[in-house]
Structure 1
Amino acid sequence: MDATHEVSREPGGFAGESGADKIQERLQKRHQARAEDAERRKEAKESMSVAEEKGEYFSTSFNTERASIEELLSSCSGADRAVVTPRLEEATAKTLQLQKFLNDSMLFLTQYELRRAQAALQKLQSSIVEIREEAQPRKKFTFRARTKATDKVSDAPSPEADTPADSGGNKVDGAAESVQCRFSDLDNVCLTKTAEEIQKRDVLLTHLSNCKVRLFGSPSTLHLKHIDSCEILCGPVSSSVFIDHCTNSTLAMPCQQLRTHNTTDTKVYLHVTSRAIIEDCHGVSFAPFSWSYPTLEEDFDLSGLDRDRNNWSQVDDFNWLAAGTHSPNWTVIPEADRKTTWDP
């Protein structure tokens, strides 16, 4: 009777599989893993090279266009008003295009490059405002104030029509003090500006407390300074919103860029096509823009903002540089707590 030979079986092996076959299989797997790792390193290197090339292209193109705008603004110095006006319009259009170019390039820019470009844009926007105000004579400004008690509309001269809001200076975050669209030094009133009053102008709100403000239309820029316990709703801002010293308030606005300083306990309902920036802030919370009014779509078209791009929850805190850790200075408003209906 023939002896019965047992078939050797090893974990993970096949019946009758020789040691040489298993060694060959392991070598093949190791070779494949090395090849895949080499391919990943190659792709990463190529991706880095592409990013560097894109960064160089952005820097060259951005600086060239910025210099062109600066030269255009410089040519306004000493020129007649008839000459300054079209040059300012051209500079404004070019600045908006430069802002769009920056927004489209954000994915491959470093934080340093992004901050430098944003600072350069802010400087251009401030220069445009200053030159526009120098070229236009200051006008006596009136506003409509509607008190909650009487709900009546009355015209009254702005307390700040002939005096600066901040003594010792002639600008508020880059906005000229003589900017025509503004509300200043008011308490416990309802304030409204129509699209016709606002369209493509710079709007300044300063030293307001316990006020409800409705800004229809599409401003060029919006500046908020020294705001306390207010509700401010604004139509699409074609470029930037600047906020400084705001507390215990609710704000809603679409814009290309948001910069917020020295702000506490404030809710922001936001549509922003770049990224929001906060500095020296705490207790600031964000949610998607939810205010609506009959001509909102038309104002979005006029502003040039992309309705499909909203980075409301992507916030850069310049006081919090810990990578991978969320800043404690801002939060997202829970869906259940978000405001979706607004009083007229």
Structure 2
Amino acid sequence: MIKLKQLLTSAVIATTTLLSVNSAMAADYPPHTINMVAPSGAGGGWDLTIRTVGKVLKDTGIVDANMPVVNRPGGGGAVNLAYMQTQKGKGDLISVYSPPILLTNLTGLTQYSYKDTTPIARLITDYAAFVVPENSKYKTIKEVMDALKKDPKSVKIGGTSSAGSMDHIQFLLVAKAAGVENLRNIDYISFQNGSLIAQALGGHVDLISTGLGDVAGLVESGKLYALAQTADKRIGSGLIAEIPTVKEEGINVTFENWRGLFGPKDMPEEAVAYWRDALQKMVETTEWKEALKRNGWDNAYQNDQDFTTFLGKTNEQYKGLIKEVFGR
């Protein structure tokens, strides 16, 4: 009996100690600095998203920690994903990702996938946009597709993601739906150093495949002209609302480019809980809602648990997509 009491007492002490340690760890979070990572160069959709998140969290006082933005480009996000494997168990890194976190793995560009991270929240849905310089000879997406049907090498496509990833895949899906054959022969050039817009304006690529939010400002300024976007409806306001959907152009396809936040694998539970609370508050703020409208983003918030479920289902859908386009 005495032994049993001693064991129970020891267990209670151990449990109390563990709870105290966990409480202390939770009280110490967040750290003074949290690195907000865009796995791309400055100016792209990931960069815009993570900077917007950091600014809204800071401006509203939801997060007091310093949140510098770190750009870690390469491999359509694969370079940063590999780096995140060196940060397992840590809570001071938050990275934005979108479909490439699934696609780069499914196409064999990296051995890592979303399963090697801690999904934190899905935030928004953006849509693909296909834009050209204002002096382009192409005035509609149908004209581009007609040119590709005659010669798949006749139009140079530029994007910020690597070949086989987001910007490339979304264009190929539309081209396939439009009846373009020999999809593998289409020239796609990846610019992950932030020079894509300059390359297009300089005439080095004919068309940019990107996220609508990434180029909304340039479209509104008149420097770029949007041929089409991939939502199932007109979105945004002003000039953005005038952009036709590809379905309106007779191409029966839609495509969503969701974006969400991820931490390193085995991120401490107190960190996950902190971000769950912070982001739930953020998406209800006026500042965030104004950012959605300004960038042509749709609200697609999901907490960490729902986001993880979504990723599993979407990963299976993308497997079918990759097989259809690439035969893999």
TM-score (norm 1): 0.30
Q: Which structure has the higher relative contact order (CA within 8 Å, separation 6+)?
A: 2
> Which of these two proteins has the greater Rg computed from alpha carbons?
1
Structure with greater helix share of residues: 2
TM-score w.r.t. the length of structure 2 is 0.31
